[in-house]
Amino acid sequence: MTAWWEAPAVLGAGFWAGMINVVVGSGTLVSFPVLLLCGYSPLVANISNTIGLVGGSLSGTIGYRRELRESRTAARALLPASIAGGITGALLLLALPSEAFDTIVPALIGAGLLMVVAGPFVQRGQARRAGTAGWAEGLSSRRLAGIAAGVFLLGVYGGYFGAAQGILIVGLLGLVTTASVQSLNALKNLLVMTVNLIAAIVFMIVAWDSIDWTAVLLIAAGATAGGVVGARVGRRLRPALLRALIVVIGLAAIGHMLFVR
């Protein structure tokens, strides 16, 4: 980081990402593009961002611990799938040539932005099906295994890139369960945190040289504070405003990669 504005921008992006992840999901589409705009390569930005966001996911999960108790049976069933998916996605990122990731990043960001725009429609559809908590106890073993398979695939995506992973998890669970929105949001926070944590461990073991610790610390500090704020007051913020911010920053990053880099 050389320009005076870059460190405050990354810190602020981490805060917004941490808060958005807890409330809506897709905070990566704020912090990752800001790292690109600061001049980081896509691979270094992705790895550093994933490690930095762990703190925000953790603080958000703790903030939703009351709602999470309602889904503890589902959490025990789905956590192994998230762990396996996170490991697979992180190793896939490191195994493929970095040039391949550089090429596909604009498309991944674009896809993530489409998920953000579609998120309200998915969540409204889920809300119409919402019932009581404790839904996991009423699921058959076959259906729970199917959900776990879907969570594994989303974990692979999360370990590889992760933008809008939370929205996809809420969408998946909302289609096949009758849980309340807040219960699903709590479980989403736990699963996303697990994927980020597992991917971070893999990166620190296998790709230490691709980590920028200045970016990690700034993202982590901002995201941890943002996760706390999101869990406490973020539910009262207008989701449309948060989504608009994500779209603006994401489009700026796509334009930067296509026309500047």
pLDDT digits 0-9 by tens, 17-57: 998 888 777 788 889 989 998 999 999 999 999 999 998 88
126 pLDDT higher than 60:
no
State residue 91's pLDDT score. 96
Residue 203 has pLDDT above 80, yes or no: yes
Classify residue 41 as exposed, middle or buried by CB count within 10 Å of its CB (0-12, 13-18, 19+).
middle
Instruction: Say which amino acid occupies 5.
Output: W
- Average pLDDT for residues 113-121, to the nearest whole number? 70
**Model pTM score:** 0.81
- The pLDDT confidence band at residue 133, using thresholds 50, 70 and 90, is very low
The pLDDT score that the predictor gives to residue 111 is 78
Residue 95 structure tokens: 């195994």
The pLDDT value given to residue 53: 93
Query: pLDDT category, 234, cuts 50, 70, 90?
Result: low
The contacts of residue 69 (CB under 8 Å, 6+ apart) are none
pLDDT at 99: 79
Helices (H), the chain: 6-23, 28-37, 42-52, 54-63, 65-68, 72-95, 98-129, 141-160, 165-176, 181-206, 213-232, 239-259
Mean pLDDT in residue range 150-176: 84
Residue 132 is predicted with a pLDDT of 45
Mean residue pLDDT across the chain: 83
**SS3 state at 261:** coil
Q: Residue 193 — pLDDT band, cuts 50, 70, 90?
A: very high
**What is the rounded distance in angstroms from the CA atom of residue 187 to the CA atom of residue 64?**
9
**Residue 260: pLDDT above 70?**
no
Q: What secondary structure does DSSP assign to 135-156, as a single string?
A: GGGGS-HHHHHHHHHHHHHHHH
Question: Is the separation of the CB atoms in 258 and 89 below 8 Å?
Answer: no
Record the tokens describing residue 106, joined without a space: 């604009």
Between 146 and 121, residue with greater pLDDT: 146
Q: Provide the pLDDT for residue 138.
A: 57
